[in-house]
Amino acid sequence: MNTSKRAGFFVTGTGTGVGKTYVSGCLAKAISSLCPVTYLKPVQTGCIREDGGPLSAPDFNEICQRAPIITAQLEDHVPYRFEPACSPHLAARLAACTIDFGTILRAMDKVQRLASLVIVEGAGGIYAPLDENSTMLDLMREIGLPVILVASAGLGTLNHTRMSLEVLAAHKFPLAAVIINDLCDGSQRFIIDDNIATIRTFSPAPVAVVPYATALEPEFKEFCHDLARTQL
């Protein structure tokens, strides 16, 4: 196990609702067959409080159901949890809370000791605000992991994906991969297929496709293993 440096990937998206959690779970499941893997969600909004207990974290719960990740206490994996399903900066303001990068980095270092690799999942897109002065981009820089960009396969993805890639390049982030979450039905197949082919032409990093709600294909598992080996 490599504890001398942070090892893993920061999963961000071209926007909200593109499937970051689903893809993070697929990554974790695939990589877990190669080495121990764990998960960090620095900020989760839309959390659920049941029977007056602590707020649960739906994304963390989904990851645990999808992949055999190494786990500790919920607070170690999701240090900031908010009930309103809104932007992190607004959820924190409503809770009279300040999102502190130091708290997130300490959680990161703690879960890092559990496994060989950490899948860190952001909230929203790369410019999602965390407070009045910082965005997810700033947190990505602090954590310092290679980035995996999740994109949808549907209409509009070419614009969103290209803009996201240009921002990452402008800020000199190491881009490990683009993963396209293909959850569209057959009626739009001609658009989907062209979008995937077009993204491959302008992405500076390898591109993989994850079909929604199907078993992981051997090619995708090997793709994930190749990514993981760059960090081990």
CATH number where 94 lies: 3.40.50.300
Give whole-number Cα distances, 57 to 75, 160, 203, in Å: 10, 27, 32
Active-site position among 20, 29, 41, 221: 41
Q: Does 172 participate in catalysis according to the annotation? A: no
Range of the domain at 86: 8-229
- Asked if the structure places residue 118 within a domain, the reply is yes
Please report, in tens digits, the pLDDT of each residue of the chain (232 residues total). 333 478 999 999 999 999 999 999 999 999 999 999 999 999 999 998 877 788 999 999 999 999 999 999 999 999 999 999 999 999 999 999 999 999 999 999 999 999 999 999 999 999 999 999 999 999 999 999 999 999 999 999 999 999 999 999 999 999 999 999 987 666 788 999 999 999 999 999 999 999 876 667 889 999 999 999 999 9
Which CA distances in Å does 153 have to 48, 93, 196? 29, 33, 7
Domain membership flag for residue 1? no
- The amino acid sitting at 183 is L
In a domain, 215, yes or no: yes
- Secondary-structure breakdown of the chain: helix, strand, coil percentages, each rounded to the nearest 5: 40, 20, 40
Residue 48's H or E segment, with its range, is strand 48-49
The enclosing H or E element of 224 equals helix 218-229
- pTM score over 0.85: yes
Whether residue 112 is contained in a domain is answered as yes
Quickly tell me which residue has 């793709």 as its tokens. Answer: 223
102 burial (CB, 10 Å; 0-12 / 13-18 / 19+) is exposed
Is residue 87 a part of any domain in this protein?
Answer: yes
Looking at the structure of the chain, the number of domains it has is 1
